[in-house]
Amino acid sequence: MTPDPIPLRSPSTLECRSCGAGAPVDEHFCPQCSRILALGRHGDYFSFLGLPRKLVIDANDLERRFRDLSRKFHPDYFYNASPTERLASLERSSYLNDAYRALKNPVSRVEHLLAIEGLPSAKSEDPSMGSGHVTGKVPPSLLEEVFALNEELDEIRELRESGADPEKLRARLEKARAPIDAKRAEHEAQLQELSARWDGQAGAAAAEKRATLDALRERLLERNYINNLLATIEREAASVAGSAQPAAGSHG
């Protein structure tokens, strides 16, 4: 999950709290006195790690950057420093850890990009409800699947409650799951394709870039929805498994 980014506030320069000199916003250490800079205003996770705002990232390179910066910022190395520097080290390390976590995962990476490009959050409002139904606003492209799945889940639940053979129910669940899995795989491919498109649009017109971002956001919303569908199936599968061995008091 990506924490909401701090809104950009005139990110031009930063004042070093140790010597008072001005420093570019993406510098970590003061160019004048070389002390660690407080994390006042800053750009975004990409620029913090010295990366371009691109979605296809070399995992090894990202990790190396994370390790190198950890060695520069970590509070372990600021024990004998001034309180100002210690605070700066703590904040900078925290931000680095957040940045690394967000960029490491391709999905949270897209979420972060959307946020810093000014799009509304793609996080869903957790549409799965206690009733076991998947409700909430269904993305139009998933209407058909959601409708079929809810119907099937209702039937399985009824059968389970009337003591049907759990083995058969499991098989039905597997079958109900297949189209959802397929949808998910399709989305993964689309996300990858859109990510590559975004990376190639550095010099493109604003409208073109915006269209890609909108498409990415659309995919993320659908993806979250699909994940919730899968979670609902998992829950039902667990209930089926539970009904198969009602006497089991505890198991691993």
Partner 1 sequence: MGKVVGIDLGTTNSLVAYVDEGRPVVIRDESGDALVPSVVSVGEDGTIFVGREAQRRLLTAPSRSVYSVKRFMGRGIEDVREDAGLLPFQVSGEAGGVVRIGVADREFTPPEISAFVLRELKHRAEEHFRKQGEFDFEVDRAVVTVPAYFNDAQRTATRDAGRLSGLEVLRIINEPTAASLAYGLDQRNRGTIAVYDLGGGTFDISILKVEDGVFQVLSTNGDTHLGGDDVDRLLVEIVLADLAGSYVRGAGPAEGGPAGAGGRGAGPAEGGPAGAGGRPAGAGGRGAGAAAVETIRRAVIQAKWDLSDLEETEIRIEPSPAVPSGYQKRITRAEFERIIRPLVDRTLEPCRQALSDAGLQPKDIDEVVLVGGSTRIPLVRRLVEELFARTPHSELNPDEVVALGAAVQADILVSGRREMLLLDVTPLSLGIETMGGVVSKIILRNSTIPASGREMFTTGVDNQTGVDVHVLQGERELAADCRSLAHLHLRGIPPMVAGLPRIEVRFQIDANGILSVAARELRTGIEQAIEVKPSYGLTDQEVERMLIDSFEHAEADFEARLLIDARNEAESVIHATDKVLRRLDLDGTGAEVFEPGERERINAALTGLKFVMAGTSRQAIHDWTHALNNVTRHLAEVTMNQTVREALAGKNVKDV
Is residue 163 near partner 1 by the rule CB under 8 A? no
At residue 217, the 3 state secondary structure works out as: helix
Is residue 4 near partner 1 by the rule CB under 8 A? yes
Q: Using the structure block, give the residue that is written with the tokens 């024990």.
A: 79
CA dihedral (237, 238, 242, 243) positive or negative: negative
If the CB atoms of residues 21 and 116 are measured against partner 1, the closer one turns out to be 116
Closest CA to 93 of 108, 110, 79, 76: 76
Q: Residue 127 class from Cβ within 10 Å (0-12 exposed, 13-18 middle, 19+ buried)?
A: middle
Contact 155, 176 (CB under 8 A): no
Measured in degrees and rounded to the nearest 5, phi and psi for residue 13 equal -135, 170
If the CB atoms of residues 36 and 194 are measured against partner 1, the closer one turns out to be 36
If the CB atoms of residues 79 and 162 are measured against partner 1, the closer one turns out to be 79
If the CB atoms of residues 100 and 225 are measured against partner 1, the closer one turns out to be 100
If the CB atoms of residues 104 and 197 are measured against partner 1, the closer one turns out to be 104
In single-letter form, the type of residue at position 188 comes to E
Q: Tell me how far, at minimum, the Cβ of 216 lies from partner 1, in Å.
A: 23
Is residue 188 near partner 1 by the rule CB under 8 A? no
Q: Using the structure block, give the residue that is written with the tokens 């913090």.
A: 48
Is residue 98 near partner 1 by the rule CB under 8 A? yes
Query: Within 72-91, which residues bind partner 1 (CB under 8 A)?
Result: 74-77, 79-80, 90-91
Q: Using CB under 8 A as the criterion, which residues of the chain lie in contact with partner 1 when the complex forms? A: 1, 3-4, 63, 67, 70-71, 74-77, 79-80, 90-91, 93-95, 97-98, 100-101, 252
